[in-house]
Amino acid sequence: MSESVMHSGWWLWLAFFLAALATHIPRGSFIVAGSRAKLPAGLQRALRYAPAAALAALVMPDVLLISGELQIANPKLLATIAVFVVATRWRNAWLPFIAGMAVLWLFKF
């Protein structure tokens, strides 16, 4: 490992504390404020799309970008197709992992 200028002791724990604040204030915001802070009904309805949007936004760059470049023909996309086919056809929860990793390894090596 190269020499780092990382501080130690209290500096490091302060950094952890700040990262924790920046995590738990967003997480707790509406759960803790509860019924005193209500979002408008329209916004609440729009938020139903948040999980689909967030999941796709996390997955698609990982599948379509190879070291930062758009690459349609790649083993990860083939593995993704396998995962979607298996997950749509069968209810078994472990099968998508087995199929996805098998296709990835098959086309990678």
Partner 1 sequence: MNIAFRQGAREGFLHYLPLSVGLIPWALVTGVAMRGAGFSVLEAMGMNCIVFAGTAQLGTLPLIVIGAPMWMILATALALNLRFVIFSAAIAPAFEGVSRWRRILSGYLLTDGVFATCSPRMLASTDKDWRLGYYLGPSIWCWLLWQVVTLIGVLGSSVLPTNWSLDFMASIALMVLLVPIVASRPMLVAALAAGATAVTLHDLPLKLGLIAAIFVGIAAGFVGERWIADDSTKDVAL
Among 56, 90, 102, 106, contact with partner 1 (rule: CB under 8 A): 56
Largest CA distance in the chain: 56
Contact flag: residue 1 with partner 1 (CB under 8 A): yes
Q: Which of residues 10-49 bind partner 1 (CB under 8 A)?
A: 11-24, 26-35, 39, 43-49
The H helix count followed by the E strand count for the chain is 5, 2
Contact characters 72-91, partner 1, x per CB under 8 A: ----x--xx--xx--xx---
- Can you say whether the dihedral through the CA atoms of 92, 96, 98, 102 is positive or negative? positive
Of the two residues 31 and 73, which places its CB atom closer to partner 1 in the complex? Answer: 31
Q: Report whether 108 contacts 101 (CB < 8 A).
A: no
